[in-house]
Amino acid sequence: MATAHPTTNKKVALVVGASRGIGRQVAIDLAANGYAVVVASKSYDKAPFAGRFPPDPNSNQSTINTVEREIREAGGEATALRVDTSDPVSVEQVVAQTVQKYGRLDAVIYNAGAIWWAPVKDTPLKRFMLMQRVNAEGLYGIVQAALPHLKTRDRAASPPKQGGRIVVVSPPIYSRFFRGKTAYAMGKVAMSVLTKGLAMDFEREGLADEMAITSIWPAAAIESAATDQFTRKDPKMANDLRKPTIFSDAILAMLGAPARAVNGQLELDEDFLRRHAGVDDFSKYSVVPGTTPRRIMPAVLPDLTVREQDDEGQRINLADEVKGKL
């Protein structure tokens, strides 16, 4: 698909998994802060939304179409594009359609995810395979399709087109995370490995002054469609929830930070805002005013580096060998 001429004077962000909850909030807040946003997810309206608007942001009535409408009615710029992250063709198409529409791509936020928290014996192989396709493989496909456009620089563009940013919703790597949800953790940790590995690629390619990939994960539970099923049974559980605005605020701060400060980092929303945005009062994010939601993540996370971190030995790139034989 050929690239069209630019249709916006804004930076362009592709938010994958933006139909409801956290992803919806991220898309809305990016638009409010000057981005043209592609709202992408599998859920969409087959007919124009006819209910009370806007719909409950954590309900099935919230789709990429209603999020696009919310952004437009608030004066922002948005386009809804359907994507099935388990389908490689669909993944390639959503990136191509984004560039076709806007002529550029500056940021990718990957929030899509399949969830199944259960022990190995209670996790069917088909469920495991679905999680890998949506989580790790979907992310890999989006990143690989987006990289050529994120790497494109154009100083004469308005605004100038610099190296792009990628933000991945995936956790820090530590052993407690695996407990009781091994199959899910395998895919989510793989996403964090991609963050670490691609960041090293940027360093080796001399791109780390402008390009960055960063992972983000909540320090305390965030209100979403997943938490609604629990708070309906026990309303007191809302005392431990934060609003999704903490996540979008952290992502905006990441996108605005120097690339080298965030490249390859596995961050927690609260901790990042405290260190990089000077936030020390998080009360405004509490779903229930006056409460202090319980932190679900460790206060100190392990350092994954080793003493020989910079010793690569002999570099090997099998792709180069294959090219040489063609």
Encode pLDDT of 242-285 as tens digits: 999 999 999 999 999 999 999 999 999 999 999 999 999 999 99
Q: Give every residue of the chain whose pLDDT is below 50, as ranges.
A: 1-3
User: Scanning the structure block, which residue is given the tokens 């698909």?
Assistant: 1
For residue 109, give both structure tokens.
């936020």
Query: What one-letter code names the amino acid at 166?
Result: I
pLDDT at residue number 229: 82
Model confidence, pTM: 0.94
Give pLDDT, residue 47: 72
Give exposure, 239-275, as e/b (b: 16+ Cβ within 10 Å): ebbbbbbbbbbbbbbbbebebeebbbbbbbbbbbbee
Given this model, what pLDDT does residue 1 score? 40
Q: What residues contact residue 50 under an 8 Å CB cut-off, 6+ apart?
A: none
Answer yes or no: are the C-beta atoms of 221 and 242 closer than 8 Å: yes
What lies within 8 Å, CB to CB, of 135 at 6+ separation is: 112, 113, 114, 187, 188, 190, 191
Note the pLDDT of residue 63.
Answer: 94
pLDDT of residue 326: 60
The pLDDT of residue 180: 96
Residue 36 half-sphere exposure toward CB, CA atoms < 13 A? 17
Lateral strand order in the sheet of 212-217: 77-82, 35-41, 11-16, 107-110, 165-169, 212-217, 266-268
pLDDT of residue 6: 66
Q: Of 247, 211, 308, whose CA–CA distance to 57 is shortest?
A: 247
- Residue 79's alpha-carbon distances to 57, 98, 115, 126, 251, in angstroms, are 18, 9, 27, 33, 20
Instruction: Classify residue 96 as exposed, middle or buried by CB count within 10 Å of its CB (0-12, 13-18, 19+).
Output: middle
Please report the pLDDT score of residue 250 as a whole number.
98
